[in-house]
Amino acid sequence: MQVEQLQDRLVVKHPKGSSTEILLYGATVLSWKSGSPKDHTPVERLFVSSTASLDGSKPVRGGIPVVFPCFGSPSHPDHMKLGQHGFARNSVWKYDGYTETPDFVTVRLTLESTPAIHTLWPKSFHLTYVVELGEHTLSTDLHVKNTSAAPFDFQALFHNYIRAPAKEVTVSPLQNITYYDKNEPKEERRLKLQSKNAVDVLNPSDAVYENAGQHYTVAWRGNVLDITTHNLKDVTVWNAGEKAGAKIVDMEPGGWDRYICVEPGYVRGFYRLGVGETWVGHQTISVKTI
Ligand SMILES: O=P(O)(O)OC[C@H]1O[C@H](O)[C@H](O)[C@@H](O)[C@@H]1O
């Protein structure tokens, strides 16, 4: 059996040694251990704060929280009752089974509206989250189906906390891409053009790159992870930095220096989904040999 269902999570093991754990709360990927094509020893690739709450009392500080149907604090008139990053990351998802091929173990989770969600966002929808584990890859797909009688607008994002030393890691290629700098105090100055190709987070970063290339390389000292995406036109690069990081209540001491968030999403503007239609956002994170 490659998938073990525990009370609060799924533990998925690949015959070639990689593994992943998915908390039903938020469908949050909590762990992804994978070797590289050069060194087969499985290594944890995601950062989860040791002080994160995993009991469903608040979204997990780390792993891969799923952001839907709004990113950040709501800005769309239909989203005003929602909390930061929406409800997907703090709702309990249902396990919907797994499939297995020689190369991949794939698990499915689903989420539909509940009375509590309905009071915040009165739409009818069906979400399916598909997590596919390969020998050196982890893919996540979010399927959003509109089961309402009218179109609705949403944003979606995979909030990947990549385990990496913040002082050394870079994300590329981002040169000549326009980004929305959330750390810039004045709204009218927030849209900027990135001049660097490999962007670091030596200073605090909260930058939403618009219409980026959907293929990113996250690199530091002998490590390379590739992220390829589909239908996720934007990517946010976030690291709180030392000062603001110390103020995040569920961030472990010094935790700001152990992660970089590289968050593919559809978050600049909104995707309008017609009645009965399904939208799929996809990412694959691969461990590369260098
Ligand atoms: O603290 P959270 O609600 O989990 O959000 C953590 C971060 O998520 C994204 O990266 C946003 O761009 C940031 O502005 C935010 O601080």
pTM listed for this prediction: 0.98
Question: Ligand 1 pocket test: which of 60, 61, 68, 84 has the largest number of ligand atoms within 8 Å of its C-beta?
Answer: 84
Q: Does residue 184 lie in a domain region? A: no
Q: Which atom of ligand 1 is nearest to the CA of 261?
A: 10
- The residue type of 191 is L
DSSP 106-171: EEEEEEE--HHHHHHS---EEEEEEEEE-SSEEEEEEEEEE-SSS-EEEEEEE-EEEE--TTT-EE
Task: Answer yes or no: is the ipTM higher than 0.85.
Answer: yes
Q: Does residue 183 lie in a domain region? A: no
Distance 207 CA to ligand 1 centre (A): 11
Instruction: Identify the three-state secondary structure at position 220.
Output: strand
Instruction: Identify the three-state secondary structure at position 52.
Output: coil
- Enumerate residue ranges in the chain where pLDDT < 70: 1, 290
Q: Does residue 28 lie in a domain region? A: yes
* Domain range enclosing 110: 3-168+201-288
Distance 41 CA to ligand 1 centre (A): 32
* Residue 86 per-residue DSSP state: B
Query: Based on the structure, what is the number of domains in the chain?
Result: 1
Q: Considering only CA atoms, which residue is closest to atom 11 of ligand 1?
A: 72
Distance 2 CA to ligand 1 centre (A): 33
Q: Does residue 175 lie in a domain region? A: no
- Among residues 21, 132, 263, 282, the one annotated as catalytic is 263
Distance 72 CA to ligand 1 centre (A): 7
What span, in angstroms and rounded, lies between the C-alpha atoms of 242 and 203?
Answer: 9
Radius of gyration of the chain (CA): 18
Q: Does residue 194 lie in a domain region? A: no
14 in active site: no
What residues flank ligand 1, with Cβ below 6 Å?
Answer: 59, 72, 84-85, 182, 206, 236, 238, 261, 263
Q: Does residue 182 lie in a domain region? A: no
CATH of the domain at 47: 2.70.98.10
Nearest CA-CA partner of 67 in 82, 47, 89: 89
Is 89 annotated to bind ligand?
A: yes
Q: Does residue 119 lie in a domain region? A: yes
User: What pLDDT, on the 0 to 100 scale, is given for residue 1?
Assistant: 64
Is 84 annotated to bind ligand?
A: yes
Q: Considering only CA atoms, which residue is closest to atom 3 of ligand 1?
A: 84
Q: Which residue bears the tokens 């995993």?
A: 54
Joined tokens for residue 114: 């509940």
pLDDT digits (tens, 9 = 90+) for 19-47: 999 999 999 999 999 999 999 999 999 99
What span, in angstroms and rounded, lies between the C-alpha atoms of 182 and 191?
Answer: 9
Q: Which helix (H) or strand (E) holds 61?
A: none
263 in active site: yes
What span, in angstroms and rounded, lies between the C-alpha atoms of 174 and 104?
Answer: 31
Q: Does residue 196 lie in a domain region? A: no
What span, in angstroms and rounded, lies between the C-alpha atoms of 94 and 24?
Answer: 7
The residue length of the chain stands at: 290
Question: Ligand 1 pocket test: which of 60, 159, 263 has the largest number of ligand atoms within 8 Å of its C-beta?
Answer: 159
User: What pLDDT, on the 0 to 100 scale, is given for residue 266?
Assistant: 98
User: What pLDDT, on the 0 to 100 scale, is given for residue 91?
Assistant: 98
